């Protein structure tokens, strides 16, 4: 049977956060944000290994304690773009991961992934010929901006989804797609689409947010804090 591996590209600097160091290391409940992103994979019995792709010049990683992560391997193969970092990571693990194994690419700045969503993604895609992504149907009315910050038009939202991660594809197919696409894509599904494939949409929820702006970090703290409180109540 095919195995499942997580791959987190974490070589970016997170310029939109306005922080003095890469956003994956921003404090979130006393841990670096990427620690929370990794935990969902570490604790899931269906994940066989987890790889983090960081910059060769990353001086922050060694400042934290990662001893809780038995499945974790660090790859100092970060590229100039997300696509390049993912492709470098895929190339680096080729000897350990077969072409038929599943790779779940996840944002290092998406710290609120739940076991429920990870279960759903794996169960819905394990027998899929292509793979797919977590995503949420667009609920808000969409406006396209025109000159001077004014509305140019309203965009119909029917059939539109907001892409999230993890994005789950076979190692061999994903590597081939990214090699063909180069740096013209912003997520893994786009690379598969350029090859003519139609990845499956697996419904997620807004709680699986990506921390892009400072206000997002506040919301992530709230969500994770609530989960921690609920877990403590169940133990008690």
Q: Is residue 138 part of a domain?
A: no
CATH code, domain carrying 79:
3.90.550.10
CB 75 within 8 A of CB 92: yes
> Residue 33: what pLDDT?
97
CB 38 within 8 A of CB 62: no
Domain containing residue 215: 4-132+163-235
Task: Quote helix, strand, coil % in the chain, to nearest 5.
Answer: 35, 20, 40
Structural domain count, the chain: 1
Q: Is the pLDDT of residue 37 over 70?
A: yes
Q: How confident is the model at residue 235 (pLDDT cuts 50, 70, 90)?
A: very low
pLDDT by residue (tens digit) across 84-127?
Answer: 999 999 999 999 999 999 999 999 999 999 999 999 999 999 99
Q: Is residue 152 part of a domain?
A: no
Q: Is residue 42 part of a domain?
A: yes
pLDDT by residue (tens digit) across 134-182?
Answer: 999 999 999 999 999 999 999 999 999 999 999 999 999 999 999 999 8
> Residue 182: what pLDDT?
85
Q: Is the pLDDT of residue 68 over 60?
A: yes
Q: Is residue 212 part of a domain?
A: yes
With CA atoms as reference, report the closest residue to 12 among 24, 2, 20, 4.
Answer: 24
Q: Is residue 149 part of a domain?
A: no
Q: Is residue 155 part of a domain?
A: no
Q: Is residue 156 part of a domain?
A: no
CA 83 – CA 168 distance, rounded (Å): 15
With CA atoms as reference, report the closest residue to 4 among 36, 43, 64, 45.
Answer: 45
Q: Which tops the pLDDT comparison, 44 or 15?
A: 44
Q: What is the mean pLDDT of residues 61-80?
A: 97
pLDDT by residue (tens digit) across 2-21?
Answer: 999 999 999 976 544 555 67
């Amino acid at each position: 049977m095919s195995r499942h591996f997580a791959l987190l590209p974490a070589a970016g600097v997170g310029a939109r956060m306005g922080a003095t160091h890469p956003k994956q290391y921003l404090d979130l409940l006393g841990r670096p944000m990427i620690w929370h992103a990794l935990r969902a994979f570490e604790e899931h019995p269906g994940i066989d290994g987890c790889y983090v792709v960081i910059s060769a010049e990353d001086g922050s990683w060694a400042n934290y304690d990662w001893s809780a992560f038995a499945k974790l391997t660090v790859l100092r193969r970060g590229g100039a773009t997300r696509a390049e970092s993912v492709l470098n990571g895929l190339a680096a693990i080729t000897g350990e991961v077969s072409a038929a194994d599943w790779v779940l690419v996840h944002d290092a700045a998406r710290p609120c992934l739940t076991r429920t969503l990870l279960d759903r993604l794996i169960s819905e895609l394990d027998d899929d010929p292509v793979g797919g992504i977590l995503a949420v149907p667009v609920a808000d009315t969409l406006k396209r901006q025109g000159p001077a910050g004014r509305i140019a038009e309203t965009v119909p939202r029917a059939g539109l989804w907001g892409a999230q991660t993890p994005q789950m594809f076979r190692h061999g197919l994903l590597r081939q797609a990214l090699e063909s696409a180069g740096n013209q894509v912003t997520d893994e599904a786009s690379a598969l689409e350029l090859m003519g494939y139609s990845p499956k949409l697996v419904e997620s929820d807004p709680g699986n947010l990506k921390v892009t702006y400072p206000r997002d970090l506040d919301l992530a703290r709230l969500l994770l804090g609530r989960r921690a409180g609920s877990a403590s109540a169940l133990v008690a």
